Structure 1
Amino acid sequence: MFVRSFQRWLAAGTGVALAVAIAACGGGGSSGGIGGTGIEPSVAYGTITNFGSVWVNGVEYSTTNTTFKTDDHPSGGGSQSELRVGMVVRVDGAVSARRADTITEDESLKGLVEQVIGTDQIVVLGQTVRIDPATAFEGGVRPGLTDRVEVHGQIAGDGVIAAGFIEKKTTAPTPPYALKGIVRSQDTAAQTLQIGTLVVQYAGATLSNMPLGSWVGLQVNVKGTSCGGVFPVCGTLVATKLEPAGASVSGISQAEIEGVVVTINADGFTIGNQRVVTTGSTRYEGGVASDIAVGTEVEAEGSISGGVLTATKVSFRDGTRLEGDIATVSGNTLTIAGLPGVTVTLTSFTERNGGSGALAVGNHVRVRGKAGAGNSIIATRLDLRSADTRVELQAAVQAASPESSVRLIGVDIATGVGLVYRDASGGPIDRTAFFAGATVGKLVKARGTLGAGGVTWSELELEN
């Protein structure tokens, strides 16, 4: 059921998902910004999370005067109605002012479904497409074997795409094939490279934006005209264009890059094509420095110089955590005793530690994951622990009232007598100071003990 340590032990140079918010550097000792407003031009690159304007990576951008460059209108003239939640886009405008001047739909994966693996994976153009409960399907239609599809998402590993939105297509686009991924190997003499299990023949392709030297480990976008292989498998794609994928920035004053860690370096880590350096001043939110590993989803914030991002802050995107006894097991879904309404969804990509047998009611577990729909957690890691009455819950605040409670993933924790409040460093603070920091969206950890009458909560702690 589980691919053990799948994400943590991905090989160096594997894929990545990027979410970038970049403010351009001022020059010449002046920073008048756009039209003398003081607002620097900037770029955001990431996943659409909502509409009502357009939300990218949880941030809302005004689209009152936005130009939309979509797959059907690459030069402009498209509309917001062509976009979907789960698509990856680039926003040009002003991040600080939350204004989008241009929104450009990012490259997608286009081809035939070559294989269906269970309920949470399909293969398209030699790339394994990872499907989880957050993946949306156009019209609710899930594609089957040999169907033509368009997959929007982010690179999550060597030959792996984490799907945000999938659409079954009835006609082939022009060109009929496209993909993004990590170059696994390259034969410069034969002018071929491999992405996932797909061989790409790039003789005659447009390569004007590709760097000199080896492309192995580089994240690229590819467009192609024809496939060679046994239907529906595309064994070899004849490419018409190759270009680097994601953000390519040599120097910028402010950047926010979200994605999957693909390599660990002596002084930091790498997200896709972006090297990140951490220092003693780097702050960590939702985890600690030792939690960073290959396959971990993080967001790094800081400045870029010489192509290197020096991080002032690193946030863990799978920062939702809980610990407690399993109350129920139903297929791939768990509930936890004392946490009513909270569900934990396991996938074939959930890393499991501490035993290989089937999970059972009463098992004490520790779960790390990302927020799903409603009050659910999509687990990225599950550890089977020794028996314990401890209950812990770490999540973003949904609602807070100093007089009554704080709500985490639908669980209301009463602020009664005897509750200990702590700051982000673990030091004791009073209730007033705690609730001044426990605003909606802020990460908070709650600790308690499970008894016959439910959970007795003892501590609430602010997290960085």
Structure 2
Amino acid sequence: MQSGFAKSLLSLSILMLFSCGGGSSSGSSTPTPTPTPPTETDIVVTGAISGFGSIYVNGIRFDVSSASIDVDGFNASDDALKLGMMVTVRATQGDDSSVANAEQVIYDDDVQGPIASINEADDGRQKLLTILNVTVVADAISTVFDGISYDTLAIDDLVEVSGFYDNNTIVATRIEKKTNTATSGIEVELKGVVENLDEELFTLAGISVDYTNADLSGVVGEVVSNGVAVEVKGLYDGDKIVATEVEVESLEFENMESFSVEGIISNYASDQSFSLQGILVNAAQAQRQPNNLVLTDGLRIEASGELVDGVLIANEVESYQSDIEVAATISNIDSDSVTLDFITGEITVMTDKRTRFKDDRDSDAVLTLSQLQNGDYVQIKARRNNNTLYASELRLDELDDNVIQAPVESFTAPDNVTVLGITFTTASASFEDRNDQEISQQVFFDNLQAGQVIQVKDEQPADGNADEVELED
């Protein structure tokens, strides 16, 4: 599916204008300087769709009006592109343009199947799902849900998942509920490495696959081999998958001057050797945002640079790890920010091209900053750059508790704590440790230090008094 695309060069016909000198006896003319034509660069970007108009991926706006769009192996219109989908975009961008012209957009889900188990984290903000032996992390704020919600996820739901790979786990950026149309078995899709191959069966993620009648045209020589990464589509009977199609999964890209990938660091050996979405990255000489960024396994980043022989030589690395969470009603909206009201103060959060907006009250709605109003209740995941907060995700929802999760700035035991400039009284609060076990007020403050991350909840009707305070990792 990843066909190469031809490089295109901007051709300009330039008319050379000459004017006669008015005061020179020689009658010589001076040519007008030739303007330098804008150049275009071929780019490849892999990341989650964060907005529309046409689409935003990794902070870049792509015009997809002339692009070929491939969704799960089928030609599609731009209406098929949805928030949170992990896509690969091939495009050209002029050095004088803020919009890149997409030539090809490819989306391929990471797994589709029935939910076999659900385990919720004690903090209630994440769930671990098992789908065809694949572990999927669903986040109450950062995962986009379609046809289903975080609260309504249930065993046996048939879902399609797109997300970041974190070793053997998928951190979901999008989960969509599907309807099974098969008369026999469940329609599934699974990726993995072929193991235990014989003439009829192989295993993928520990699940048996019967490939005897499968379409193998997507496999080199139509011969399946052990150790090859493939995607299988077929019907699942609860025991094995009867494959209708087996296709090789390829991460091969041609050398590119401009390549960008968003993902979660895995297989970290050093700054010059780690993986993002299966792509090897060397970031030893890269500029970092923030400047004190320390690369390590499990960190969500975007790396940009030149792709050379399959290795991304990054010249810039930016972290999108969103460790700060705020939830409250909006008191003010500007062209690029929202301000939240916390009774004893306000918190302003900037938005940018990478901010993902979602209306949890209507999964089909496309939300933008301009549609928000004062009094709306929003939940925001944010990252801090210097002293400014930038929203990674902003969700519009029904009124709920005021919440801040952030490092403690100061505290006065046992009276109050201050986070993000907001002071909460704690006289009547309940307290929990990092394992979500209830502890006394004295034990909490005895173990509290400035800089520790805590979550403070002020239940509705909010009054500035903390109802729950919890230590976080």
| TM-score above 0.5, yes or no | yes
Contact 1:149 1:167 in 2 (8 A): yes
Which structure 1 segments of 5+ residues have no match? 1-19, 27-31, 323-335, 344-372, 379-393, 398-405, 411-444, 458-464
* Structure 2 counterpart of 1:306: 309
Contact 1:248 1:273 in 2 (8 A): no
* Structure 1 counterpart of 2:129: 122
Secondary structure (helix, strand or coil) at the match of 1:81 reads: helix
- The Cα shift of 1:39 comes to 1.8
How does the TM-score come out when normalised to structure 1? 0.55
Q: Distance in 2 between matches of 1:187 and 1:214?
A: 9
Equivalent of residue 103 in structure 2, options 89, 92, 101? 101
Change (3 A) 1:454 1:163: closer
Contact 1:341 1:375 in 2 (8 A): no
- The Cα shift of 1:309 comes to 1.8
Contact 2:148 2:177 in 1 (8 A): no
Q: How many residues align?
A: 320
Equivalent of residue 389 in structure 2, options 397, 404, 408? 408
* Structure 1 counterpart of 2:464: none
Which structure 2 segments of 5+ residues have no match? 13-37, 121-125, 326-341, 350-376, 392-405, 422-473
Look up the equivalent residue of 1:152 and give its one-letter code. S
Secondary structure (helix, strand or coil) at the match of 2:41 reads: coil
Change (3 A) 1:127 1:212: same
- The Cα shift of 1:270 comes to 1.9
* Structure 1 counterpart of 2:196: 187
Look up the equivalent residue of 2:9 and give its one-letter code. G
Q: Distance in 1 between matches of 2:128 and 2:262?
A: 23
Contact 1:116 1:144 in 2 (8 A): yes
1:152 aligns with 2:162: yes
Change (3 A) 1:163 1:221: farther
* Structure 2 counterpart of 1:131: 138
Secondary structure (helix, strand or coil) at the match of 1:55 reads: strand
Higher RCO by CA contacts (8 Å cutoff, separation 6 or greater): 1
* Structure 1 counterpart of 2:263: 259
Change (3 A) 1:181 1:157: farther
Contact 2:45 2:259 in 1 (8 A): no
Contact 2:262 2:303 in 1 (8 A): yes
Percent identity, aligned pairs only, is: 17
Matched ranges for 1:31-180 at <5 A: 33=9, 38-71=39-72, 74-75=74-75, 78-96=76-94, 97-118=99-120, 120-133=127-140, 134-140=142-148, 142-172=152-182, 177-180=187-190
Contact 2:190 2:233 in 1 (8 A): no
How does the TM-score come out when normalised to structure 2? 0.54
Q: Distance in 1 between matches of 2:202 and 2:269?
A: 26
* Structure 2 counterpart of 1:222: 231
CA displacement, residues 324-356 of structure 1 (integer Å, 9 cap, x when unaligned): xxxxxxxxxxxx99985699xxxxxxxxxxxxx
Secondary structure (helix, strand or coil) at the match of 2:40 reads: coil
Contact 2:288 2:316 in 1 (8 A): yes
CA displacement, residues 217-276 of structure 1 (integer Å, 9 cap, x when unaligned): x7x451322335xxxx3445536213225x422422221122122212354212243211
Secondary structure (helix, strand or coil) at the match of 2:195 reads: strand
Q: Distance in 2 between matches of 1:126 and 1:35?
A: 53
Equivalent of residue 278 in structure 2, options 273, 278, 291? 273
Secondary structure (helix, strand or coil) at the match of 2:79 reads: helix
Secondary structure (helix, strand or coil) at the match of 1:150 reads: strand
* Structure 2 counterpart of 1:326: none
Change (3 A) 1:102 1:254: closer
Q: Distance in 2 between matches of 1:235 and 1:86?
A: 30
Contact 1:200 1:239 in 2 (8 A): no
Look up the equivalent residue of 1:89 and give its one-letter code. V
Change (3 A) 1:58 1:68: same
RMSD between aligned residues = 4.6
Change (3 A) 1:124 1:46: same
- The Cα shift of 1:409 comes to 5.6
Larger Rg: 2
Q: Distance in 2 between matches of 1:82 and 1:139?
A: 15
- The Cα shift of 1:318 comes to 0.6
Contact 1:201 1:239 in 2 (8 A): no
